[in-house]
Structure 1
């Protein structure tokens, strides 16, 4: 007897089916490094916590205006989506260094 198991499908290919246990929960991207804890992350200048992190930028990626000298940094979210940059795995992630206070 065949039992229909719940699954997530990523496209039409049978090889992309992932069976799920309906009694367990999972969090996508769990265990991946967070940009906000990286030394290259620049939080957005705002008092709004949502925008502070979601509109943050990365010191590693951007471009420099050759006239003004101003550097415009890439949004961290975009860097994590690009395999040519940090990617979802955080290839260039470096944790913040903890500073001890007396």
Structure 2
């Protein structure tokens, strides 16, 4: 019987956290879209660099610079996703 009550509370909390908070879902979507854009730009940079003529050492140096920029661009979105994950857990388990 206790499992039924707990299950019901989890389902209710999940429904409230995900389906009733459109702004929260929108935050997740926007963050994932921005992160996907960063990933796409990285792949385009990689392809352009592969097609570039010149010494491998120069290509490597350019790739290291681009990779550093990629990590810096990506970091704020990863932090935001972690905040959203914590918020999901908090919302899900706050009513239990």
Q: Same-fold call, TM > 0.5?
A: no
TM band (smaller chain): under 0.3
Q: What is the TM-score when the length of structure 2 is the normalising length?
A: 0.26
Higher helix share: 2
Higher RCO, 1 or 2 (CA under 8 Å, sep at least 6)?
Answer: 2
Q: What is the TM-score when the length of structure 1 is the normalising length?
A: 0.25
